[in-house]
Chain A
Amino acid sequence: MTSDTPSSAPRQSKGRRQDRRGTPKVNTSGLYKRAVRDSFTKLDPRNMIKNPVMFLVWLGTIVTFLVTLAPDLFGPAAGKNPRLFNGLITVVLFFTVVFANFAEAVAEGRGKAQADSLRSTRSDTTARKVLPDGSIQEVSSTGLYKGDQIKVVAGDIIPADAEVVGGVASVDESAITGESAPVLKQPGTDISSSVTGGTRIISDELFLRVTSDPGKGFIDRMIALVEGAERSKTPNEIALTVLLVVLTQVFLIVVATMTPIAGYVRTPVSIAALIALLVALIPTTIGGLLSAIGIAGMDRVAQFNVVATSGRAVEACGDVNTLVLDKTGTITLGNREADEFIPVNGHSLQEVAATALTASIFDETPEGKSIVRLAEQLGAKAEVAPEQATGVEFSARTRMSGTDLPNGSEIRKGAVDAIKGFVRSRGGTIAPDLDDAYERVSRLGGTPLALCRDGELFGVIYLKDIIKPGIKERFDQLRRMGVRTIMLTGDNRITASVIAQEAGVDDFIAEATPEDKIEVIRTEQAKGKLVAMTGDGTNDAPALAQANVGVAMNSGTQAAKEAANMVDLDSDPTKLIDLVTIGKQLLITRGALTTFSISNDVAKYFAIIPTIFAAAGIGALNVMRLGSPDSAVLSALIYNALIIPALIPLALKGVEFRPLTANQLLQRNILIYGLGGVVAPFIAIKIIDLAVSPFL
């Protein structure tokens, strides 16, 4: 990260974006209609074969359809009206598959709607390509490739993701981030040197070097990811799929061997009833909702304006044990606050306060306003009314700002060395106590701004770091979740320890170099921990690559963005905390619904098996007192089918995340989804049986 540099340049505050989304409002009209249509097109066996559990249900539907057409296909047909019974089972199984496809289609539809709204921020524009001989050629933005140099001027839409190589300009990034305040972009810095395609230049001009080929920019990657085009199963999904397949295999073997045993004990069971039993036993609920949960998780990350390279990166967020965070801009506000005026050169505090106030009357930045507030608290008054003076704006070149008085006097404040240069240029000398004041402020970890009038130094303004409000509570939350926080800063140890204690981090490393960052990550990983970190500078790239979860700021360098596995388009370092929450929520949702799905089986055993094998003497286990074997089977199947769409909202929204310890979470989820999964089907199946029995 950058070292503390004195600046009163405009710097945008990037607060938490819980309540506002960076992407334009998503248009979900027609979503459900399209999802219903897609539910049927997904019945294609080439698609169904990717979901083993639902594929088995699909095959079972075909077999029951065959026995509906020919009830004695596999043996003598039993029951009053086998064709009706088999037909009803076929219909219920068909809708079970359709509902599972519907869940996936809704999740994909929401992702596509999000992708469409992201696409609307992109448009083919005309770009000014700078040729090797320096001339300008107008080309389409789709014809720009990595390495091309382009020029953009005020009012232009930036045609592609690029790195600033020349010029300084303000850029409106609201199309991507929703943040309306412009961001200063300039070359050669670790921050603010990247621009994203689709954003607009507001002032001045920039020379850019394109950093991605057409269709490969960050927004394009985000579009592909939320659309699901590039989504592959994550390790957690794969592991869960294997578990579900093992259960399915076991139940398939059991049911396959049941016919001869049932016949031997004089309770023959029809093929349709056996298939119904198989479908009731296999974990169809989680089998049908698994992909929807994964897609919804990726969409949630995109809603936070984060581009993830893969679902694996999002899941890794949920397993993170250690967060490595920078101080400035992450734990503390990027905007500092004036805390003290330090007089130098024999001036009094009142004089310094009055001069500082006069120098800041045109300064609209948060730092400038805090200087005005502090001066007014000390009873200072501006020497002149704003209408009578002329403001001098901050610029990256001069690194100072101020006020020109009507009598010709020039008051300036800014970087110490810049003010020294100004004073010398006006024929003044540098007071010896300036450096002492500068060092004192530096030792406290603050930012010193020197203050002068023409060739005379007046004092130093101490800008203090402010801990972000609410950050301590967030770190407490993370601690309860078992996540350890480590603060890294280039500040000295005293300042770092004060900030660390105030912010409530678990550990800190002061005077950290980029090598220290990698070392911290490696040390934690050697202990078996998963580490997440944020960064934006080129010097952060190795650490971002080393970390299990690396989140680069969009305003950072290309090297940082390439090294990371996530890019935050809002350039908000605290987003890492939100990502950990999203990752954990994804894993918790999967676990909760898997628990619920497997718990449901208990009630389904009690529904189907006692009624089918009642003649074998286990009729007493029919605790629900279901009407008949046919109604019991149908009721269980209908419940099995209806629970899938009933749980779609939970799958898409995710289980509500609570910052509890692992044990507390486990107890809570077992109680709600485990016990609830056992009890709920008993009630539901009985109600359905009461409705269905009269007709069978």
Chain B
Amino acid sequence: MKLATKLPTKSSVLSFLPPSTQVLEETAALLSEARRQKIPVWVFLGMCFNLVVAPMVQAATGETYSRGQAWAIGILGLCTLVVSVYLFVVMFQPERF
């Protein structure tokens, strides 16, 4: 038997969700844009891959750090991550600033 009901569309599903899913909508829009603009996405992913291999490269340098220096570098890395998140927030919601 053929179903007569219409399949739910993205907008109709999302309309039932609370307003905080605006972030989800924007993410969905980004992903669809990413499928069209491949080069910038790959460049960005390449840069992020740098971040992933950075600790391994650092380990390969043979430098040694004291406990205090390691903590300081860790905190600096964490602060850099927070700043990066802040910059992403500014990118997606610039009107807040």
Contact = CB atoms under 8 A, between A and B. Distances in A.
Interface string A245-279: 11011101110110111011000100100000000
- Chain A: interface residue count, which band? 35 or more
A283 B55 CA distance: 28
A263 B61 contact: yes
Interface in B66-90: 68-69, 72-73, 76-77, 79-80, 83-84, 86-88, 90
Contacts of B60: 264
Contact of B47 (A74, A248, A254): A254
Q: Kindly name the residue among A238, A257, A259, A263 whose own CB sees the greatest number of chain B CB atoms within 10 A.
A: A257
A245 B69 contact: no
A248 B80 CA distance: 12
Given A75-B65, A75-B73, A263-B63, A257 B87 contact: no
A550 B90 CA distance: 32
Interface stretch (A49-57, A314-322, A661-669): A49-57
Instruction: Provide the main secondary structure of the chain B interface.
Output: helix
A253 B51 contact: yes
Contact of B88 (A75, A249, A264, A271): A249
A241 B97 contact: yes
A242 B91 contact: yes
Interface residues of B, number: 30
Nearest to B65: A75
B91 to A, nearest CB: 5
B22 interface: no
A443 interface: no
Contacts of B95: 232-233, 238
Nearest to A250: B47
Contacts of A241: 90, 94, 97
Contacts of B83: 56, 59, 252
A72 interface: yes
A250 B88 CA distance: 11
B47 A253 contact: yes
Interface in A334-364: none
B17 interface: no
Given A73-B69, A245-B90, A260 B55 contact: yes
A616 to B, nearest CB: 14
B57 interface: yes
A277 to B, nearest CB: 14
Given A50-B97, A56-B83, A253-B47, A264 B57 contact: yes
B94 to A, nearest CB: 5
B84 A49 contact: no
B37 interface: no
B91 A245 contact: yes
A63 interface: yes
A74 B76 contact: yes
Given A49-B97, A50-B97, A238-B94, A249 B61 contact: no
Contact of A74 (B61, B73, B80): B73
Given A252-B83, A253-B50, A263-B61, A242 B90 contact: yes
Contacts of B65: 75
Nearest to B50: A257
B58 to A, nearest CB: 4
Contact of B69 (A74, A238, A248): A74
Contacts of B50: 253-254, 257
A374 to B, nearest CB: 61
A341 to B, nearest CB: 64
Nearest to B77: A256
B58 A259 contact: yes
A452 B65 CA distance: 107
Nearest to B82: A59
B57 to A, nearest CB: 4
Nearest to A238: B94
B14 interface: no
B64 to A, nearest CB: 9
Nearest to A63: B76
Contact of B84 (A51, A76, A249, A260): A249
Given A73-B69, A254-B47, A260 B54 contact: yes
Contacts of A264: 57-58, 60-61
Nearest to A56: B83
Contacts of B57: 260-261, 263-264
A245 B87 contact: yes
A256 B80 contact: yes
A256 B58 contact: no
A52 B86 contact: yes
Interface string A41-77: 0000000011110011001000100000000111110
A271 B76 contact: yes
B70 to A, nearest CB: 10
B48 interface: yes
Contacts of A59: 79, 83
Contacts of A55: 86
A257 B50 CA distance: 6
A233 B94 CA distance: 9
Contacts of A250: 47
A75 B72 CA distance: 9
A71 to B, nearest CB: 11
Nearest to A254: B47
A82 to B, nearest CB: 14
Contacts of A252: 80, 83-84, 87
A262 to B, nearest CB: 9
A541 B11 CA distance: 37
Contacts of B80: 252, 256
Interface string B5-37: 000000000000000000000000000000000
B61 to A, nearest CB: 4
A253 B90 contact: no
A252 B90 CA distance: 15
Contacts of A254: 47, 50
A246 B40 CA distance: 12
Nearest to A248: B87
A248 B97 CA distance: 16
Interface string A225-250: 00000001100001001100110111
A205 B45 CA distance: 75
A300 to B, nearest CB: 24
A261 B60 CA distance: 10
A253 B48 contact: yes
B47 A52 contact: no
13 contacts: A56-B83, A238-B95, A248-B87, A249-B84, A249-B88, A249-B91, A252-B84, A253-B47, A253-B48, A254-B50, A257-B47, A264-B57, A268-B63
Given A248-B87, A257-B47, A271-B76, 11 more contacts: A52-B90, A59-B83, A75-B65, A233-B95, A242-B91, A245-B91, A245-B94, A249-B87, A249-B88, A252-B87, A263-B58
Interface of A: 49-52, 55-56, 59, 63, 72-76, 232-233, 238, 241-242, 245-246, 248-250, 252-254, 256-257, 259-261, 263-264, 268, 271
User: Which 9 pairs from chain A and chain B are nearest by CB?
Assistant: A260-B58, A263-B61, A260-B57, A257-B50, A249-B87, A238-B94, A260-B54, A245-B90, A257-B54
